[in-house]
């Protein structure tokens, strides 16, 4: 069972149940007993005080309890589970080159490749001043470099479920010494069908372990998963479950489907947005919309599941460096990705899953900064908007959006394209293309034959009726259908045959 009452009392750093979130967030990292090496690494990352989820979760993890952590996205969940686990693993720290001295002791499972790569980068930064080794494995790239790294020995392994099972079956990693397991964004893993893979992975792990489950949302399915694999977990919540960030301005505009692209362009111009992350529901729609924004003059890139892992990482890095104005993405970019100072998120398509709305808009307004989340709603999105209202417990008001110069009807656009003057710099010596007269449609003619086209002409000599024929009657006793033999002249002195008896 999930002990919520114990969570409120035990989650606070000093066991004071009356301490509010502001007081918890004012605590420094040296107040929870982390090692000096980890404190130096945290200071190098630019952290000064703990976030509420960190202040609540770190003492419980250090105490060895299983934890279910619920917090708004962008509040530092990765540090909340990785820092105490690294502190507890320092007793295994050694400088030996033998792979046997560096078995996997902490396993972090993430739903997407991008999130796994980001979590691994954060943990490597926290462990930079220790001798603990950190590795990440995910699909979409060659297994050989990952195999070499795993066989060299790592203490912390960050992985996606599918590629981790590949390495387990290939015997590239042994998990019989794992002491700590973290399921990051577990609800997303269930949404995309990773439950059987999770069950297989957990079956390879020792029964005696500490299990942590962190996510921005908690569905009933997640709670059933926690009851199956967590031992008396403590629920740590710093906000109402499935709540959206308070520092994100949420706007919902009623826009026709064909006008959504123009609406995004108008809002980017009116708000003077330097960058925007645009979410769509399909991979095909993602690629098409990116090409449309490219034709509008924006530096655009697409991020979806059909791209190779190298292309996805390059697109994300270019967006983080500011080399891309608009990143059009599917929900592979909705979970856990940390993009610093992202000013706006657009829901070009309303998400099919209401919980994805919380994760999408959580890409902006991170680390206390303000952000803008715009959702474009068409007439067919009524049910999806109702699901979001039910989830966030808030009435959604649709606002009209006046678009600039509406496009002319199709026939006028076609006429303007044909009658438009030549662009500047065109070759004036070249004669214009002559106008082509429109072709009139004529149905194909039927084939004719002179013989059949002639009128009827009766024959000059009428044929004698068959009943007046003078042909000899068949001899009596024979069938009328049997014709009599003709008389044949005798040849070579032969006797002439009788027509009846021959």
Output 14 or 209, whichever has higher pLDDT: 209
For residue 5, the model assigns a pLDDT of 37
Residue 323 belongs to what domain range?
248-400
368: left (phi over 0), alpha (psi -120 to 50) or beta: left
Give the best-scoring range by mean pLDDT among 206-210, 301-305, 365-369.
206-210
With respect to residue 428, please indicate whether it lies within any of the assigned structural domains.
Answer: no
Q: Is the same domain home to 223 and 266? A: no
User: Which segments of 323-461 does DSSP mark as H helices, in order?
Assistant: 354-361, 382-392, 410-419, 450-453
Last residue of a domain, one of 379, 400, 421: 400
Number of structural domains in the chain: 2
Output 19 or 183, whichever has higher pLDDT: 183
Beta-bridge partner residues of 286: none
B/e letters for 400-409, b = 16+ CB within 10 Å, e = fewer, are ebeeeeeeee
For residue 10, the model assigns a pLDDT of 38
Residue closest to 405 by CA, chosen among 266, 208, 235: 266
Residue closest to 328 by CA, chosen among 301, 355, 364: 301
Burial grade of 125 (CB within 10 A; 0-12, 13-18, 19 or more): middle
- Residue pair 315/365 in contact (Cβ under 8 Å)? The answer is no
What Rg do the C-alpha atoms of the chain give, in angstroms?
40
At residue 378 the predicted structure's pLDDT band, cuts being 50, 70 and 90, is very high
For residue 217, the model assigns a pLDDT of 67
User: Which segments of 393-466 does DSSP mark as H helices, in order?
Assistant: 410-419, 450-453
State the SS3 of 189-200: HHHCCCHHHHHH
Over the stretch 293-344, which tens digit does the pLDDT of each residue have? 999 889 999 888 788 778 888 888 888 888 889 999 888 766 656 677 788 9
Q: Is the same domain home to 296 and 364? A: yes
With respect to residue 353, please indicate whether it lies within any of the assigned structural domains.
Answer: yes
For residue 247, the model assigns a pLDDT of 75
Q: Is the same domain home to 317 and 349? A: yes
Q: Is the same domain home to 86 and 211? A: yes
With respect to residue 180, please indicate whether it lies within any of the assigned structural domains.
Answer: yes
Q: Is the same domain home to 196 and 267? A: no
With respect to residue 194, please indicate whether it lies within any of the assigned structural domains.
Answer: yes
With respect to residue 452, please indicate whether it lies within any of the assigned structural domains.
Answer: no
Distance CA 209, CA 230 (A): 9
DSSP 63-92: TT--EEEE--TTS-HHHHHHHHHHHHHGGG
With respect to residue 67, please indicate whether it lies within any of the assigned structural domains.
Answer: yes
405 pLDDT more than 70: no
Distance CA 103, CA 443 (A): 81
411 pLDDT more than 60: no
Q: Is the same domain home to 124 and 146? A: yes
For residue 186, the model assigns a pLDDT of 79
Q: Is the same domain home to 231 and 257? A: no
Last residue of a domain, one of 188, 204, 237: 237
Find the CATH number of the domain harbouring 296: 3.40.50.300
Over residues 46-57, mean pLDDT: 85
Distance CA 266, CA 158 (A): 41
Output 237 or 145, whichever has higher pLDDT: 145
Angle at 468 between CA 464 and CA 471, to 5 degrees: 100
Output 143 or 333, whichever has higher pLDDT: 143
For residue 501, the model assigns a pLDDT of 47
Give the best-scoring range by mean pLDDT among 127-131, 184-188, 415-419, 449-453.
127-131
Q: Is the same domain home to 210 and 287? A: no
- Min mean pLDDT across 108-112, 207-211, 217-221, 481-485 is at 481-485
Last residue of a domain, one of 370, 385, 400: 400
Q: Is the same domain home to 225 and 319? A: no
Q: Is the same domain home to 278 and 228? A: no
Share of the chain above pLDDT 90, in %: 30
For residue 430, the model assigns a pLDDT of 52
18 pLDDT more than 60: no
With respect to residue 482, please indicate whether it lies within any of the assigned structural domains.
Answer: no
With respect to residue 488, please indicate whether it lies within any of the assigned structural domains.
Answer: no
Tokens of 407: 């496009």
């Amino acid at each position: 069972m999930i002990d919520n009452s114990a969570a409120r009392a035990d989650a606070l750093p000093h066991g004071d149940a009356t301490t509010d979130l502001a007081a918890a967030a004012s605590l420094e990292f040296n107040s929870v007993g982390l090692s000096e090496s980890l404190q130096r690494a945290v200071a190098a990352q630019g952290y000064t005080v703990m976030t509420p989820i960190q202040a609540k979760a770190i003492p419980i993890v250090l105490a060895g309890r299983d934890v279910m952590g619920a917090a708004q996205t962008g509040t530092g969940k990765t540090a909340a589970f990785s820092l105490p686990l690294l502190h507890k693993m320092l007793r295994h720290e050694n400088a030996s080159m033998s792979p046997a001295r560096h078995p996997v002791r902490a396993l972090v499972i993430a739903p997407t490749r991008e999130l796994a790569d980001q979590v691994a980068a954060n943990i490597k930064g926290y462990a930079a001043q220790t001798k603990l080794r950190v590795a990440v494995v995910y699909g979409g790239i060659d297994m050989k470099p990952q195999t070499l790294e795993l066989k060299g020995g790592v203490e912390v392994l960050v992985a996606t479920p599918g590629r981790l099972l590949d390495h387990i079956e290939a015997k590239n990693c042994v998990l019989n010494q794992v002491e700590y397991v973290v399921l990051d964004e577990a609800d997303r893993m269930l949404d995309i069908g990773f439950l059987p893979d999770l069950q297989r992975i957990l079956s390879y792990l020792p029964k005696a372990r500490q299990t942590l489950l962190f996510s921005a949302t908690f569905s009933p399915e997640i709670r059933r998963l926690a009851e199956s694999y967590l031992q008396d977990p403590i629920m740590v919540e710093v906000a109402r479950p499935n709540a959206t960030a308070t520092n994100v301005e949420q706007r919902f505009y009623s826009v026709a489907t064909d006008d959504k692209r123009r609406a995004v362009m108008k809002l980017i111009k009116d708000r003077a947005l330097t960058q925007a992350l645009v979410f769509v529901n399909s991979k095909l729609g993602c690629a098409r919309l990116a090409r449309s924004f490219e034709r509008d003059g924006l530096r655009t890139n697409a991020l979806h599941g059909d791209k190779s892992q190298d292309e996805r990482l390059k697109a994300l890095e270019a967006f983080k460096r500011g080399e891309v104005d608009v990143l059009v993405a599917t929900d592979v970019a909705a979970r856990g990705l940390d993009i610093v100072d992202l000013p706006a998120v657009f829901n070009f398509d309303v998400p099919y899953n209401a919980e994805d709305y919380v994760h999408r808009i959580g890409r902006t307004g991170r680390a206390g900064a303000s952000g803008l989340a715009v959702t474009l709603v068409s007439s067919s999105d009524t049910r999806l908007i109702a699901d979001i209202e039910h989830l966030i417990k808030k009435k959604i008001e649709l606002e009209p959006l006046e678009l600039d110069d509406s496009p002319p009807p199709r026939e006028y656009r076609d006429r303007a394209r044909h009658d438009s003057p030549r662009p500047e710099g065109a070759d004036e010596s070249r004669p214009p293309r002559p106008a082509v007269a429109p072709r009139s449609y004529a149905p194909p003619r039927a084939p004719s034959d002179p013989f059949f086209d002639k009128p009827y002409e009766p024959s000059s000599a009428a044929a004698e009726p068959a009943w007046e024929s003078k042909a000899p009657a068949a001899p009596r006793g024979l069938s009328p259908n049997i014709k009599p033999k003709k008389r044949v002249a005798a040849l070579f002195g032969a006797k002439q045959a009788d027509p009846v008896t021959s």
